[in-house]
């Protein structure tokens, strides 16, 4: 017999599940991909100059950065995570009826969602300025490469990043495949197999970008990166003061 008083979640199950699924792709998944690719620019071999310029580009949004972060990253992620926890707790019946229910990937999708949540909260506290009241917020956008590298030096921290990156990337790329089923994009077994290959390729690419970035930050020559950042900072300040002379000294070259 059907429940005469269905809950809000039960009444709007279809729409909520679709919004949850969509949020996993856009904007959260898209942000994840851009974030990992941006970080991998630390591998350019120029003491973090390319990475710093990418960070400058993001921070050129100025006061708009905070509302943009909340609207396109934090709130959609909190929504996806909240619905995800409800699904895991079996609070939403009849969702995600995939042909692989009960297998390893189904369990891993849920486990990595929870690991991703814990990792992302910790990552934000550790590096984002929002984490300052908790003793974190170590990333300084004016000294982007050196401050990120310093935070990643402890071996335990790096190990936790390996787990966090791999879990989040698995969750996203496996989720891409299940999302196609949610939205009816691949329905035949052949189409599902092809989509599976695409998801695996995307997952491997993002894992390489994320782990490559981690390795790049760990291998960074921090004093040299700091020198380049201080120099770049002086140039920016000089350029922002009308009439001030820009230092004729060329930017210190990387010796490779």
DSSP 200: H
How far apart are alpha carbons 226 and 97 in whole angstroms?
52
Instruction: Read off the tokens for 157.
Output: 């921290």
Which of 55, 95, 220, 232 touches ligand HEM by CB under 6 A? 95
Q: What CA–CA distances, in Å, run from 18 to 4, 21, 187, 247? A: 24, 5, 17, 55
> Which of 19, 25, 111, 160 touches ligand HEM by CB under 6 A?
25
Separation between Cα atoms, residue 122 and residue 111, nearest integer Å: 17
Tokens of 70: 């909340």
- C-alpha to C-alpha distance for 190 and 186, rounded to whole angstroms: 9
Quote the CA–CA distance of 119 and 112 in Å, as a whole number. Answer: 10
Choose, by CB under 6 A, the member of 9, 96, 108, 138 that binds ligand HEM: 96
Considering the rule CB under 6 A, would residue 157 count as an interface residue with ligand HEM? no
Q: Which stretch binds ligand HEM (CB under 6 A): 1-9, 137-145, 155-163, 174-182?
A: 174-182
Interface characters, 111-150, with ligand HEM (x: CB under 6 A): --xx-xx---------------------------------
CB 225 within 8 A of CB 146: yes
What gap in Å lies between CA 216 and CA 227, rounded to an integer?
18
Shortest gap between Cβ of 81 and ligand HEM (angstroms)?
Answer: 4
Only segment of 87-95, 188-196, 198-206, 215-223 that touches ligand HEM (CB under 6 A): 87-95
Site string for ligand HEM, 177-216 (x = CB under 6 A): -xx--x----------------------------------
Q: Interface with ligand HEM by CB under 6 A: which residues?
A: 21, 24-25, 28-29, 32, 77, 80-81, 84-85, 87-88, 95-96, 109-110, 113-114, 116-117, 168, 171-172, 175-176, 178-179, 182
């Amino acid at each position: 017999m059907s429940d005469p008083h269905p809950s809000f979640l039960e009444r709007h199950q279809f729409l909520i599940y679709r919004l949850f699924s969509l949020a996993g792709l856009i904007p959260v998944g898209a942000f994840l991909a851009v974030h990992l690719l941006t970080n991998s620019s630390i591998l350019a071999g120029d003491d973090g100059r390319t990475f710093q310029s990418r960070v400058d580009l993001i921070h050129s949004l100025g006061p708009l950065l905070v509302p943009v972060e909340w609207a396109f990253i934090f709130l959609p992620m909190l929504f996806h995570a909240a619905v995800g926890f409800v699904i895991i707790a079996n609070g939403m019946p009849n969702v995600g009826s995939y042909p692989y229910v009960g297998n390893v990937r189904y369990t891993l999708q849920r486990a990595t969602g929870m690991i991703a949540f814990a990792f992302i909260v910790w990552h934000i506290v550790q590096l984002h300025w929002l984490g300052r009241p908790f003793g974190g917020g170590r990333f300084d956008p004016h000294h982007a490469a050196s401050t990120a590298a310093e935070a990643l030096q402890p071996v335990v921290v790096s190990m936790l990043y390996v787990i966090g990156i791999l879990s989040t990337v698995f969750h996203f790329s496996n989720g891409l495949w299940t999302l196609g089923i949610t939205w009816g994009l691949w329905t035949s077994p052949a189409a599902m197999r092809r989509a599976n290959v695409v998801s695996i390729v995307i997952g491997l690419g993002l894992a390489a970008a994320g782990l490559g970035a981690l390795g790049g930050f760990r291998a960074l020559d921090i004093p040299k990166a700091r020198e380049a950042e201080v120099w770049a900072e002086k140039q920016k300040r000089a350029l922002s003061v009308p009439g001030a002379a820009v230092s004729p000294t060329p930017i210190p070259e990387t010796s490779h």
